[in-house]
A and B are shown apart, each in its own frame.
With several copies, the nearest count.
Chain A
Amino acid sequence: MKVTVTVRPRAGILDPQGEAVRRSLEGLGYAASDVRAGKVFDLDLDVGDAREAVRVAGRIAEQVLSNPLIEEFDVAAQEPVRL
């Protein structure tokens, strides 16, 4: 089951990478008023269904992929979740 976890810096947390990219976009003539940089993880989990995959991915995101003090995450199934 394929799931995507996206991890982003929390609002208010300094994002030096985003800021460096923003400045250089400015230098190249692009008008970007804000850039935030995060991480994306595509997980292929050996679980029964997409719903379970999302649940497990959430736990993984919390425990391993992000630091809740500075980051927030969201989880999306790559196949539609049947509720």
Chain B
Amino acid sequence: MSVAVLAFPGSCDDRDALRAVALMGAEPVRVWHADSDLGGAGAVIVPGGFSYGDYLRPGALAALSPAMAAVRELAAAGGPVLGICNGFQVLTEAGLLPGVLRPNAHLQFRFQDVALRVQRESAWLPGVVAGDTLEIPVKHHDGCYFAAPAQLEELDAAGQVLLRYVHNPNGSVENIACVTNAAGNVAGLMPHPEHAVDPLLGSVDGRILLQGLLDQAVAVEAAI
């Protein structure tokens, strides 16, 4: 199984994501933002960093790139797409995920390990059940999730909220850390699963989300 990791000018965690994908036993494929195909990959990670310097709004300029058109296509065909941090911002700006990420309520960049409460069982979280906690680091300046009340109701009703912060690090509405699209195959989160895969560096709970990405890609491929 191969997983595309997008790279925009200003992406920082693309190399980490590539490494994490390899560690999970899949084949990482680096896709440059100007490319218009995903090199045959069955899954995509839109990685963290500061694409285009986060100038304007985080993710806004990256959302307009040619590679994102290819991501849209894969998503429409049911392929799994995971946006991490800046990647989450890109996916919301591109309209592939609901809501928007705004500056942290305290207006500071924040790096810390956070505890995340699992909201429900999901293909993204193999082996864990509602109520479990995962520990994964966050590091961002604009991670305050926002959606209008009506939209939030819809998200809750449709089970699109996968993870909530146990202690909210950024002011996100309803402590939301991770949401999916309505179909469930596109997910975005501010915490960094690719930084939680190596026991020498800390928690390995990030592997769960990456495994979820791979499992879904395999399932989609089998269905075709």
Contact = CB atoms under 8 A, between A and B. Distances in A.
Interface string A11-28: 001101100110010011
A16 B148 contact: no
Q: Chain B at the A interface: mostly helix, strand, loop or mixed?
A: loop
B78 interface: no
Given A16-B171, A24-B64, A70-B146, A64 B56 contact: yes
Interface centre among B102, B144, B146, B148 (most CB of A within 10 A): B102
A37 B54 CA distance: 13
A21 B93 contact: no
A73 B183 CA distance: 32
B60 interface: yes
B139 interface: no
B89 to A, nearest CB: 10
B148 to A, nearest CB: 7
Contacts of A16: 53, 55, 102-107, 144, 171
B100 interface: yes
A37 B144 CA distance: 17
Contacts of B99: 69
Interface string B42-65: 000000000011011100110011
B55 to A, nearest CB: 4
B171 A20 contact: no
Interface in A38-83: 63-65, 67, 69-70
Contacts of B52: 20, 24
Contacts of B105: 16
